[in-house]
A = this chain, B = another copy of it.
Amino acid sequence: MEKDIQKKKTLTLSMPALVEGGYNADIPQAPARVSVLDRWMARKLMDLLGDPPLSFVLWNIEEISSSAAKPMARVHFHDSEALHHLLINPALHFGDLYSVGRIEIEGELVRFLETAYRAAASSPKYRKLKKAQTRLFNRPRLNRPADSRDNIHHHYDIGNDFYERWLDREAMQYTCAYFPSPDLTLEQAQRAKMDHICRKLQLKPGDRVVEAGGGWGGFARHMAKNYGARVRSYNISRQQVLYARARSVADGLERNVEYVEEDYRKMTGEYDVFVSVGMLEHVGRSHYRELGDVIHRCLAPHGRGLIHSIGRNKHEPMNAWIEKRIFPGAYPPTLREMMDIFETHEFSVLDVENLRLHYAKTLERWLARFERHAKDIEASYDSAFTRAWRLYLAGSIAGFTTGSLQLFQIVFSHGTNNDVPWSRAHLYRDS
C-alpha cells in the first residue's frame, strides 16, 4: 500500500499526509475484546458531544447509545485505537479515521454530521475541550507569498480533471452559486451567481476589471463575454492559470481577458472594478490590511468592489482536519475581521448579503455529482482520497446548514464616491 501512495504523491492529498501523521489504512488486528476503559471512553465521548441522538458501535458489535431519542445514525469504530484518537481530538482525528475507513457511518453522512455539529456546538464541555485543543495544537499555515503558493498548490493543483468531474461544466465555479429559484441546475445557478455579482458591480462595456483569485477563469470569461468588460485576473495556481488561458483562447476571448500567474499583492494598474470571489478564505487574517492597501491603490475613484467569501458569525479557528488535509492556510473570517480590509482607507460598505443556504445547496449538487463519479475518482486516486473529499463536501454542507459557516458578498466603494447604485432594485429586475 505504501508504495502505491508514493507513486501517487503529486496527485493525492490525503494519503501521504495520513501516513505521515502515523495512520494506517489497514485496520489493526486488534483483539476483538472491548475493555472497561474502551466502554468508559465511548460513554465519555457521547457525553462530551452533549448526548446527541447517535449510537457508537464498537468493534465487537457492542452498541453504546445516547440516552436521548432513537439514534439517527450509527458510528462504527473498527478498533480501539480509533476510539482513543477520537476522544483526544475529535475535530482533527475524525476526518483522518473516516478517510482510511477505521470509522464508518451507518446512516446519511450529511445528516449525521449536522447532528454531531449541532450537538457539539451546544455542549459546553465540547466547547471547552476545543478551546484547549486549539491553544495547544492549532498552528495554521502562514500566508506570506511563498507560503500562499504552497498552500494553493496543495489544493488547486491536484488535477483539473478531478474538479471537472463535479463542478459545473460551463465555468468551473468552485464557489457558492446563487439560486434565484431553488430548482435551478448547477450550471444555471452558477451563471445566476456570476450575473448577480455583475449586477451588484453595475458592470458595463469597457469597464476595466481586476480579479483577485480567478480560479479556472470562468468568471473572467463571463464578464468579458456577456458584459464587454476587459478583465485582468490574478491567480497563483499554475494549473488553473494554464487551464484558464486555454479556455479563453478556445472561446476567442484572449484580447479581453488576461490571466496573470501572480500573487494579488503584486497587482498594478487602475481599474473600474475590483472583484474577488472565494479568495479571501486563503488570504489569512494578518494580511487583510495589505489586501485593503492593494484595493486602495488599484481602484479608480468612481470604482466599485465586491468580495465574496465564506465567513463566520463569531471568531473560530478553522476546523483542524480541513486546515491540515484539505485547505492549508485557509480561514473563514467574521464580518468584524473583514473590516480590516475596508476601514484603513475608509471604504464604504454598501451591501452585504449572506448566502449561507445557497452554499449548502451548491455543495449538495457538487456532492451528488461527486458520488456519480466516485468509482472513477477512486480508480484515479484512491479510496482514502475519495472518502476524504466526500467527508469534506458533506461536512461543508453541514457547516452551512447548522450555521457554523456563512457566505458573505460585500459590495463597497471609496467612501467619497457618490456614484453608487441608488438602491438594489436593479438586481432583481428581469433582464
The 10 closest A-B pairs by CB, nearest first: A352-B352, A336-B339, A403-B415, A428-B428, A313-B346, A350-B354, A313-B415, A425-B428, A314-B343, A403-B416
Task: Flag whether A304 is at the interface (Cβ < 8 A).
Answer: no
**1/0 per position for A381-421, CB-CB distance to B under 8 A?**
00000000000000000000111101000000011111010
A-B contact pairs, 23 of them (CB 8 A): A118-B416, A180-B425, A182-B422, A313-B342, A313-B343, A313-B347, A313-B349, A314-B344, A314-B346, A315-B343, A334-B339, A334-B343, A335-B335, A335-B339, A348-B354, A348-B403, A350-B353, A350-B354, A351-B354, A353-B424, A357-B418, A401-B418, A403-B417
For A348, give its contact among B342, B350, B406, B429 (CB under 8 Å).
B406
Residues of B within 8 A of A349 (CB): 313, 335, 352, 354, 406
In the complex, A423→B347 CA distance in Å? 26
Residues of B within 8 A of A350 (CB): 353-354
Task: Flag whether A356 is at the interface (Cβ < 8 A).
Answer: yes
Given A351-B352, A354-B349, A357-B422; A416-B428 close (CB under 8 Å): no
For A416, give its contact among B344, B402, B420 (CB under 8 Å).
B402
| Chain B nearest Cβ from A130, distance in angstroms | 14
| Chain B nearest Cβ from A361, distance in angstroms | 10
In the complex, A420→B121 CA distance in Å? 20
In the complex, A201→B354 CA distance in Å? 15
Residues of B within 8 A of A347 (CB): 313
Residues of B within 8 A of A315 (CB): 343
| Chain B nearest Cβ from A189, distance in angstroms | 12
B357 adjacent to A420 (CB under 8 Å): yes
Residues of B within 8 A of A414 (CB): 403
A180 adjacent to B313 (CB under 8 Å): no
Residues of B within 8 A of A346 (CB): 313-314, 403
Residues of B within 8 A of A182 (CB): 422
Residues of B within 8 A of A402 (CB): 416
Residue in B closest to A336 when the chains form the complex, CB atoms: B339
**1/0 per position for A176-195, CB-CB distance to B under 8 A?**
00111010000000000000
In the complex, A313→B343 CA distance in Å? 6
Residues of B within 8 A of A420 (CB): 357
In the complex, A406→B349 CA distance in Å? 9
Residues of B within 8 A of A343 (CB): 313-315, 334, 336
Residues of B within 8 A of A406 (CB): 348-349
Residues of B within 8 A of A415 (CB): 313-314, 403-404
For A313, give its contact among B348, B356, B401 (CB under 8 Å).
B348
List 16 extra interface pairs beyond A351-B352, A357-B418, CB under 8 A: A118-B416, A182-B422, A313-B342, A313-B346, A314-B346, A314-B415, A335-B335, A335-B336, A335-B349, A336-B339, A348-B354, A348-B356, A348-B403, A353-B424, A425-B428, A428-B429
In the complex, A339→B343 CA distance in Å? 14
Interface-centre pick from A334, A336, A401 (highest chain B CB count, 10 A):
A336
In the complex, A335→B182 CA distance in Å? 31
